[in-house]
Structures are given as structure tokens and as C-alpha cells.
Structure 1
Amino acid sequence: MLISETTVEVRYAETDQMGVVYHANYLVWMELGRTSFIKDLGYSYAKMEEDGIISPVIDIQASYKKSMRYGEKATVKTWVEEYDGFRVKYGYEILNEAGELSVTGFSVHVCVKKENFRPISIKRMYPDWHESYLKASKKAD
């Protein structure tokens, strides 16, 4: 199973009045992790969008374990939890500098045509990407 790692520096603007990272920012970091994961496989969301395909979130979940603060560095670990040729479920762990778990979560995506939001088969439209997801997924272990 491929696990991509992305480092994020906690910026002041990402914190709330209590000095901790505002919860919605972890979802943004998940997106950064997902984009890095795809790059690590040799593909690009931007290229897919040039083809008229987008990948909306259809489900997302985050469990908060330990607060992070301004000035810390977060490590976002991202992998393919499940993949069926249409839907991709990405798993995430966000750790603080001490390696302690701050957030766990997942997001589920489908690929659709931008013009009409009709789902497409990743397997048919992007066969190389499909094969890479099969090899990189948790089930491949």
C-alpha cells in the first residue's frame, strides 16, 4: 500500500481564538494530501480537469484526537482505503511534530463530467490511473 506524506506548516490564519487549528482547516490539509498522493502516483488533478473531468467529494469524515497550534508542522499521511473503479475512498492521518495523532479521517470521491455531472468509469477513461489505484490500495497488501 502506498502512503503519501505531505508536510504543512500551521499558519496563524488557520487558528481560532483559542490558538488551535480551526477544525475545517484539517479538511483543506486532507485535500493537500490527496493531491500529493496523486502526484506521487504520477498523475494530476489539473490534467484531469483539462479533460473536463472533476472529482467531487460525496462523503467526508474527520475525528479529532489532539489539537495543533500555530508554528507546528503537521504531517498528512494519505492512502487509498477502497477503490472500485468508480469511487475512491482516501484515508488520512494527520500527525503533529512529535508524531502524535491529531486527526484521522476519510473522503470519498467519484469522477464526473464537468458539463453534466454524469459519473465516468476511471477504469475505462484512465486505465493507467485505475491500475495504479489498484496497486496502491489497501487491498493490494
Structure 2
Amino acid sequence: MHVAVKEIEVRYAETDQMGVVYHANYLIWMELGRTQLIEDLGFNYAKLEGEGIISPVIDIQASYKKPVRYGEKALVKTWIEEYDGFRVTYAYEIADESGNIAVTGLSKHVCVKKESFRPISIKRSYPDWHEAYEKAKKVEQAAN
């Protein structure tokens, strides 16, 4: 399983009046984590979009554990939790600079043609991405 790591420097504009990162900004950080993971695997999401393929979020979940504050750094860890050749579930763990988990989350995506929003098979349309995702995804442990 490959885990991408992206460091985020918390900017003042990302916080509320209490100096705590506003909750919606974690979703943006998840996107930065996904982009890092895709780059780590040797691909470029902008190039995919240039070919008329987009990957909308079809479901997203975030669990908030503790705040990250202005002036701190956060680490976004991202990995492929599930992948079936069609749908991708990315998992996230966002920690403060001391390593304390601040947020965990999941986002589910499917690739579609930009003009029609018709789903495509990653496995069939992008076999190199498919192979990389198969190698990078989380491997389930066998039950005892």
C-alpha cells in the first residue's frame, strides 16, 4: 500500500475567529492529498481532465477529532482504501505537527466523460492507471 504525504502550512485565511481550521478546509486538504497520491504514482490529474475525463466525488465523509490551529503545520496522509477498476475510495488521515490525528476521512470517486457524465472503466480506458492503483491500494488482511 502506498501512502502519500502532503505537508500543509495552516494559513490565517483557513481559520475561524478562534484560530481553528474551518471544517470545510479539510476537504480541500483531502483534494491536495489525492493530487499528491496521483503524482506519486506517476500520473497527472490535469492531463486526464485535458482528455475530457473528470473524477467527481460521489460520497465524502470526515470525522473531526481535534483542531488544527493557525501557525501549525498539518500532514495529510492519503491512500487508496478500495478500488475495483471503476470506483476509487481514497482514505485520509490529517494530523497536527505533533502527530495527533485531527481528522480522518474517505472520499469515493468515479471517472466520467466530461461532456456526458457517463461513467468509464478505468481498467479498460486507462490500463496504466489501473495497474498502478491495483499495486498501490490497501491490501485486506486475511481473517483468522
User: TM-score surpassing 0.5?
Assistant: yes
Shift of 1:18: 1.5
Shift of 1:140: 7.0
Structure 1 stretches (4+) deviating beyond 6 angstroms?
Answer: none
- SS of the aligned residue for 2:131 comes to helix
- Pairing of 1:10-49 with structure 2 (within 5 A): 10-49=10-49
Counterpart position of 1:52: 52
- What code does the residue aligned with 1:7 have? E
CA RMSD of aligned residues (A): 0.9
CA distance in 2, matches of 1:114, 1:44: 17
Counterpart position of 1:72: 72
Counterpart position of 1:83: 83
Counterpart position of 1:110: 110
Unaligned runs of 5+ residues in structure 2 are none
Contact 1:73/1:96 (CA < 8 Å) preserved in 2? Answer: yes
Counterpart position of 2:95: 95
Give TM-score scaled by structure 1 length: 0.98
- SS of the aligned residue for 1:85 comes to coil
Counterpart position of 2:9: 9
Give TM-score scaled by structure 2 length: 0.96
Unaligned runs of 5+ residues in structure 1 are none
Percent identity among equivalent residues?
73
CA distance in 2, matches of 1:62, 1:140: 22
Q: Deviations over 1:54-113 (max 9, x none)?
A: 000000000000101001000000000000011000000000000000000010000000
- SS of the aligned residue for 1:23 comes to coil
Shift of 1:17: 1.4
CA distance in 1, matches of 2:74, 2:17: 20
Contact 1:134/1:140 (CA < 8 Å) preserved in 2? Answer: no
Shift of 1:139: 2.1
